[in-house]
Amino acid sequence: MAGRIEDYALIGDMQTAALVCRDGTVDWLCLPRFDSHAIFAGLLGNEEHGFWRLGPAHASDAQPPRAARRSYRGDSLILESEWDTPRGTVRVTDFMPPRDGAPQLVRIVEGVSGRVPMRSALRMRFSYGRVVPWVHKHESRTVAVAGPDSVWFDTSAETYGKSLTTYADFTVAPGDRIAFTISWQPSHKEPPPLPEPEQSLEATEDFWREWVGHCTYHGPYREAVIRSLITLKALTYAPTGGIVAAPTTSLPEDIGGVRNWDYRYTWLRDAAITLSSLLRTGYREEARAWREWLLRAVAGDPDNLQIMYGIAGERELGEAELDWLPGYENSTPVRVGNGAASQLQLDVYGEVTEALHLAHMTGLARNDYASLLQLKLIRYLEKHWQEPDEGIWEVRGPRRHFVHSKVMAWVAVDRTIKLLESGDVDGPLDRWKELRDDIHRDVCERGYDKERNTFTQSYGSKELDASLLLIPQMGFLPPDDKRVIGTIEAIQRELSTPDGFILRYPTSGGDEGVDGLPGDEGAFLACSFWMADDLAMIGRVDEARKLFEKLLSLRNDLGLLAEEWDPRLKRQVGNFPQAFSHVPLIDTALRLTASGAYGG
């Protein structure tokens, strides 16, 4: 069975990513892109669906031993795991070199002390564990072929096949270094070049050292910020600049439940807030690449803006279920594709406009089409802002007039007015000022509960929603407004777990609720960071710092966060690692640092 979500480490090459468990098993890898079919899908099933285990040899009926220690090498995405065994200590270094050609996963075994028997067990299964490839020798190399895909396995260790698995049994002594590499190549092409593991390791370390060197944040939370930035970089598809929400699909928000979604796509919302964090920490090139991705994705059809696209800007993301996979801890269905791509979510217009505004304000080279796109988006909102939508949380129940969606429509108009006032573009300034006032008035009259002194999830609703925490952060109302303070305190009372973390909205347990789904979910980590931000903004800085540091303690030993935290099971849940968790971590660290609200 797959490990707990927090047992996994991320390695990647800015085009795809692998998850490596504490026992040395790669249980998830899609090749050649984030959204390609997995060749290791054991994460969502079992060993029959593909894995690669590399670690100390153990009895076939025993649980694989877990590494005694593991960490990333400095500020990089190079994973080092060490096992202490009765016969000695061994280290395995896992990484994926930033690529010019074939994608590679490299694993280097190094003897530290004693003489340690080791085993590599490689079981490739294409098409998410459904297809057994033809594995054979090509000269001195092992290759697995199925349809359009081929994966080449290279090592100096002696290998043999058994039970449709490729094994290598060997022993390492101090100073021994034995490398194992898999490389993907279209099956109709010539074999990929022989890997050079040691040179690739050096180049990968140099890449990350140089990249991290551009970070402009040097505050007290630097370690957490740097690891989050590296994670966001790893989730960026280098050829296009698109940013995936997570490298996985169908890791459940509710263990054993149906809240399982494919996050290997680019949500405009997630990518826009990621751009904000990158710009504020010195990464202008990534911000420029994302803006160019956005303009290509939306080009020619801004009136039909989707909430998400493929990593190269693809629009068709049809959802399907993989019924041969039993799911992570029996959480079904396992889904690929995402039907929410066709939803109407008016808040996206605000997030995109805010990102374009920030890029403009921070001096990113002007792009005339970006300004033109912004004007077209506002013209669309003029006609549609009064419509109900599915909202930020992509509910699969009926559309509603979500307050957050209206607030973000206000943000879109407000930031475009600022663009017009800068003199860079022309537009109907007076008309849009009136529109901004109309939206603001509508929200304050229809989305605010005077008796409880709180904004509500949607017009006419009594429910709360953690997205309301963004009202002061977006400048819709000042932090000291009594309605803002009342909303913050209401969310603390009604949407807080016993640990002080924040739920997105009330769920219904066994019945279908506002989101159209049965079951519950964990505390949403982004919302919990938003609460820390709001507490700092209203002057409760010690409380904000304590909540932030409690959130930092939820990270796994490598500094990674999934989408949610299950307060009952005390474990991470949801797709992993999650951009929408790491971005607000960075934002809250910047806010607390600026306010001086950090402890010793």
Q: Which among 533, 555, 530 has a CA at the least distance from the CA of 544?
A: 533
Q: Which stretches does DSSP call E strand in 156-273?
A: 159-162, 165-172, 177-186, 236-237, 242-243, 266-267
- The answer, yes or no, to whether residue 598 has pLDDT greater than 80, is no
Cis preceding linkage at 577, omega within 30: yes
Q: Give the separation between CA 420 and CA 408, rounded to whole angstroms.
A: 18
Predicted pLDDT at 515:
56
Residue 106 near residue 195, CB atoms below 8 Å: yes
pTM listed for this prediction = 0.95
Packed helices 403-421 and 368-384: angle between N→C axes, nearest 10 degrees: 140
Average pLDDT over residues 375-389: 94
Q: Which stretches does DSSP call E strand in 440-522?
A: 448-449, 454-455
For residues 30-59, one letter each, b for 16 or more C-beta atoms within 10 angstroms of the residue's C-beta and e for the rest, the string is: bbebbbbbbbbbbbbbbbebbbbbbbbbee
Going by pLDDT thresholds of 50, 70 and 90, the confidence category of residue 62 is confident
Average pLDDT over residues 10-30: 98
Phi and psi at residue 122, in whole multiples of 5°?
Answer: -115, 115
Flag the least confident range among 5-14, 60-69, 429-438, 564-573: 60-69
Flag the least confident range among 49-53, 138-142, 300-304, 426-430: 300-304
Question: pLDDT tens digits, residue range 257-299?
Answer: 998 999 999 998 888 888 889 989 999 998 889 888 988 888 7
Q: Give the separation between CA 559 and CA 150, rounded to whole angstroms.
A: 34
Residue 92 near residue 108, CB atoms below 8 Å: yes
- The answer, yes or no, to whether residue 317 has pLDDT greater than 70, is yes
Question: pLDDT tens digits, residue range 517-544?
Answer: 666 778 999 999 999 999 999 999 999 9
- The answer, yes or no, to whether residue 516 has pLDDT greater than 90, is no
Q: Count the residues in the chain.
A: 600
Amino acid letter, residue 193 = P
Predicted pLDDT at 61:
65
Going by pLDDT thresholds of 50, 70 and 90, the confidence category of residue 514 is low
Task: Give the Cβ contact number of residue 110 at 10 Å.
Answer: 18
Predicted pLDDT at 95:
98
Question: pLDDT tens digits, residue range 206-261?
Answer: 999 999 999 999 999 999 999 999 999 999 999 999 999 999 999 999 999 998 99
Handedness of CA 521, 526, 527, 528 (dihedral sign): positive
Predicted pLDDT at 361:
80
Residue 239 near residue 312, CB atoms below 8 Å: yes
Helix (H) or strand (E) holding 384: helix 368-384
- The answer, yes or no, to whether residue 75 has pLDDT greater than 90, is yes
Q: Give the separation between CA 243 and CA 238, rounded to whole angstroms.
A: 9
Going by pLDDT thresholds of 50, 70 and 90, the confidence category of residue 300 is low
Going by pLDDT thresholds of 50, 70 and 90, the confidence category of residue 513 is low
